[in-house]
Amino acid sequence: MQAETFEVVDETGRVRVRIGVSGGDEPFVSLHDDTGRVRARFALGADGSAGLAIGDEHGKTRATFGLSSDGSASLAFGDKNGRVRAKFGLAQETAPTFAMQVREGGDLHHVLTLAEQGSPTMGLYDRTGKVRVRLGLAAEGSPVLRMLDADGEMRAVVGLADDGTPFVQFLDEHKTPTQTIR
CATH for 45: 3.90.930.1
- 61 and 100 part of one domain: no
- 105 and 159 part of one domain: yes
The one-letter amino acid code at 165 reads T
Residue 166 within a domain: yes
In tens digits, the chain (182 residues) has pLDDT values of 778 889 999 999 999 999 999 877 899 999 999 999 999 999 999 888 999 999 999 989 999 999 988 887 888 888 888 877 777 777 666 555 565 555 555 443 445 555 555 566 777 777 676 778 888 877 677 889 999 998 889 999 999 988 889 999 999 998 899 999 99
- 102 and 159 part of one domain: yes
Give residue 138's domain range: 95-182
Residue 132 within a domain: yes
Of 81, 72, 80, 25, whose CA–CA distance to 51 is shortest? 72
Of 6, 13, 60, 61, whose CA–CA distance to 36 is shortest? 13
Give how many domains the chain has, as a whole number.
2
Residue 90 within a domain: no
> What pLDDT is recorded for position 76?
83
The one-letter amino acid code at 138 reads A
Is residue 40 within 8 A of residue 30, CB to CB? The reply is: yes
> Which stretches does DSSP call E strand in the chain?
5-9, 15-21, 27-32, 38-44, 50-55, 61-67, 73-78, 84-90, 96-104, 108-114, 120-125, 131-137, 143-148, 154-160, 166-171, 177-181
Is residue 113 within 8 A of residue 101, CB to CB? The reply is: no
- 104 and 56 part of one domain: no
- 39 and 100 part of one domain: no
Residue 53 within a domain: yes
Residue 48 within a domain: yes
> What pLDDT is recorded for position 108?
38
Distance CA 133, CA 117 (A): 19
Q: Which of 46, 66, 86 is a domain's end point?
A: 66
Could you tell me whether strands 50-55 and 61-67 are parallel, antiparallel, or unpaired per DSSP bridges?
Answer: antiparallel
Q: Which of 29, 45, 66 is a domain's end point?
A: 66
Residue 75 within a domain: no
- 51 and 102 part of one domain: no
> Which stretches does DSSP call E strand in 45-129?
50-55, 61-67, 73-78, 84-90, 96-104, 108-114, 120-125
